[in-house]
Amino acid sequence: MNKKLTCQLLLVCLALFGPMIWPAHSQNQPKPSSPSSSTSLNDFFESKIRPLLATECFSCHTDSQMGGLRMDSRESLLKGGKSGPAIVPGEPDKSLLIQAVRHTGGLKMPKGGKLPQSQIDALVEWVRTGAVWPAANTPVPLAKGEMKIDAARRAFWAFQPLRVVPAPTVKNTRWVKTEFDRFILARLEKEGLAPVAAADRRTLIRRATLDLTGLPPTVEEIEAFEKDKSADAFAKVVDRLLTSLNYGERWGRMWPDVARYGEEDYRSLDPMGRGFAPYPHAYLYPRLGGQSVQ
Ligand code: HEC
C-alpha cells in the first residue's frame, strides 16, 4: 500500500474511531482524591466533571434532551427527565445518573459503551460531595486580542494528545487482519453481531470504485482485478483509484458544498429585496477545488 492510501485509511479511521481511540480523558487517571473545600470542589468539577459531561453526555442531553433530560446545569439535573431527578446530591447510590453510568439497572449511559472506571468514580465522588456546580465565573476582562480557552473546550476530544490505545481483544481472531479491525469487531461482538462474509472480487472492486470516484469500474478494470492473483491485488486497485483524476474531481466537488458554494447570494431570493449579489467568478471555484485535491 502506498503512503496516500495509508493516509486515507488513517483519516477514515480517525473519523470513525477518533473519539474511541483518544477519549478526552486518560483512562489511567489516578482515582479522584476527595475534594473538600469549596474551591477544590469547584476545581474538581471544572477539571473532572464538566469536561466529562461535555464530551460524553452533552451531545444527547443539552438541546436534544433525550429522555427529557438536560444536563447542562445543576437545576436541570435535579429536575431530571422522564424518570424524575437524575441526581440526589450526597447520595450517589440513589442517583439515577450514577446507576446509569454504573450500568447497574436497565438504563445504561452513555449510549454505546461504559465509561472508564476512573470517570465513574469521579462522578460518584462529585455526587457524594454535593454535586457542586460552580456558578458561571464572571468573565475576567480579556486584553484585546487575547483568547481564553476554558476547561470544557480544552477537553474536546480532537484536542487531546495522541496516545497509543491497545486494540481490544476479540473472540473471532481469524477475521482480524489489522489492528483497526479489532475495534470494529469488538463492537460487533458486543452487539452480538457477526461480520458478513468477504465480498467477491467483482463486488469489491465495484464498491471501492464507486466509493472513491463515484463511478462504476469498467469491464477491463474488473477483469484485470479478477485475474490479478497477487497478494496485494486489492491494494493496487485502491492505489490506482487514489491517483486517478476521477478521485480528485469527486473530492474537489465536495468542498464547494462544504463551503456552501453557490453562484450568487441567497439574498437575491430575499423578499426584503436586498438585491441580486452574484459572486464574481464563482463558476471557477469547483474547478479550483478539483485541481487542488489533485
Ligand atoms: C447518544 C446519545 C446519548 C448519550 C451520549 C447519553 N445519553 Fe443519556 N439518554 C439517552 C436517551 C435516548 C435516553 C432515554 C432513555 C433511553 O432511550 O435509554 C437517555 C436517558 C438518560 C437518563 C434518564 C433520563 C430519564 O429521566 O429517564 C439519564 C440519567 C442519562 N441518560 C444519563 C446520561 C449520562 C450521565 C450520560 C453521559 C455519561 C449520557 N446519558 C449520555 C441518550 C444518550
Q: Residue 196 falls within a domain, yes or no?
A: no
Q: What is the pLDDT of residue 24?
A: 40
How much distance in Å is there from the Cα of 99 to the middle of ligand 1?
Answer: 11
Residue 225 belongs to a domain: yes
Looking at residue 195, its pLDDT comes to 94
Shared-domain flag, residues 123 and 109: yes
pLDDT class of 250 with cuts at 50, 70, 90 = confident
**Residue where one domain finishes, among candidates 128, 154, 180:** 154
Task: Give the tens place of pLDDT for each residue, 100-117.
Answer: 999 998 999 998 789 999
56, 60, 63, 72, best to mutate for ligand 1 pocket (most atoms within 8 Å of CB) = 60
Provide the mean pLDDT of the chain.
Answer: 81
Establish whether residue 81 lines the binding site of ligand 1, counting it when its CB lies within 6 angstroms of any ligand atom. Answer: yes
Atom of ligand 1 nearest to the CA of 83: 26
Residues 176 and 261 in one domain: no
Q: What are phi and psi of 284, to 5 degrees?
A: -80, -20
Say if residue 208 is in the same domain as residue 268: yes
Provide the pLDDT for residue 128: 96
Same domain, 181 and 105: no
Ligand 1 centroid, distance to 139 Cα (angstroms): 31
Confidence of residue 255 (pLDDT cuts 50, 70, 90): confident
Q: Is the pLDDT of residue 32 over 50?
A: no
Q: Which atom of ligand 1 is nearest to the CA of 115?
A: 38
Q: Is 177 found in the same domain as 115?
A: no
- Is there a single domain that holds both residue 120 and residue 183? no
How much is the pLDDT for 28? 41
Work out the average pLDDT over 237-259. 85
Distance (angstroms) between ligand 1 centre and the Cα of 154 equals: 23
Is residue 57 within 8 Å of 110, Cβ to Cβ?
yes
**Cα separation, 127 vs 13, whole angstroms:** 36
pLDDT tens for each residue of 201-214: 999 999 999 999 99
The verdict on 52 and 97 lying in the same domain is yes
Please check whether residue 215 lies inside any domain of the structure.
yes
N-terminal to C-terminal alpha carbon distance within the chain: 19
- The residue-averaged pLDDT of 241-247 equals 91
Q: How confident is the model at residue 86 (pLDDT cuts 50, 70, 90)?
A: very high
Q: Is residue 84 a part of any domain in this protein?
A: yes
Residues 277, 262, single domain; the answer is yes
What residue owns the CA closest to ligand 1's atom 7?
110
Q: Lowest-confidence range among 42-51, 222-231, 233-242? A: 42-51
268 lines ligand 1 (CB under 6 A): no
Which protein residue's CA is at the shortest distance from atom 20 of ligand 1? 67
- What pLDDT is stored for residue 100 in this prediction? 96
Considering the domain architecture, whether residues 102 and 132 belong to the same structural domain is answered as yes
Which residue in this structure is represented by grid cell 477475521?
Answer: 175
Residue 135 has pLDDT above 70, yes or no: yes
- Ligand 1 atom 33 nearest Cα: 109
Please list the alpha-helical segments (H only) found in 32-178.
38-44, 50-56, 58-61, 74-79, 96-102, 117-128, 151-154
CA-nearest of 94, 71, 97, 75 to 86 is 97
* Residue 66 near ligand 1, beta carbon < 6 Å: yes
Alpha-carbon distance values, 45 to 70, 100, 141, 211 (Å)? 17, 19, 23, 45
Q: Separation of 136 CA from ligand 1 center, angstroms?
A: 24
Does residue 111's CB lie within 6 angstroms of at least one atom of ligand 1?
A: yes
Residue nearest (by alpha carbon) to ligand 1 atom 29? 97
Beta carbon of 122 within 6 Å of any ligand 1 atom? no
Domain span holding position 103: 23-136+150-154
Q: Is the CB of 102 under 6 A from ligand 1?
A: no
The answer, yes or no, to whether residue 181 has pLDDT greater than 90, is: yes
Confidence of residue 66 (pLDDT cuts 50, 70, 90): very high
197 within domain boundaries: no
Neighbours of 267 (CB within 10 A): 12
Answer yes or no: is 105 within a domain. yes
**Segment 32-47 mean pLDDT:** 75
At 153, is the pLDDT very low, low, confident or very high (cuts 50, 70, 90)? confident
Query: For the chain, how big is the Rg over CA atoms in Å?
Result: 25
pLDDT of 84 reads 95
The proportion of the chain whose per-residue pLDDT surpasses 90, expressed as a percent, equals 50
Question: In this structure, are 68 and 53 located in the same domain?
Answer: yes
Which pLDDT band holds residue 9 (cuts at 50, 70, 90)?
Answer: very low
Ligand 1: which residue has its CA nearest to atom 18? 107
Give 30's pLDDT tier (boundaries 50, 70, 90).
Answer: very low
- Domain assignment present for 199: no
Q: How many folded domains does the chain comprise? A: 3
Confidence of residue 253 (pLDDT cuts 50, 70, 90): confident
* Gap from CA of 188 to ligand 1 centroid (Å): 22
Residue 61 lies in a domain: yes
Whether 41 and 117 map to the same domain: the answer is yes
Domain match, 259 and 275 both:
yes
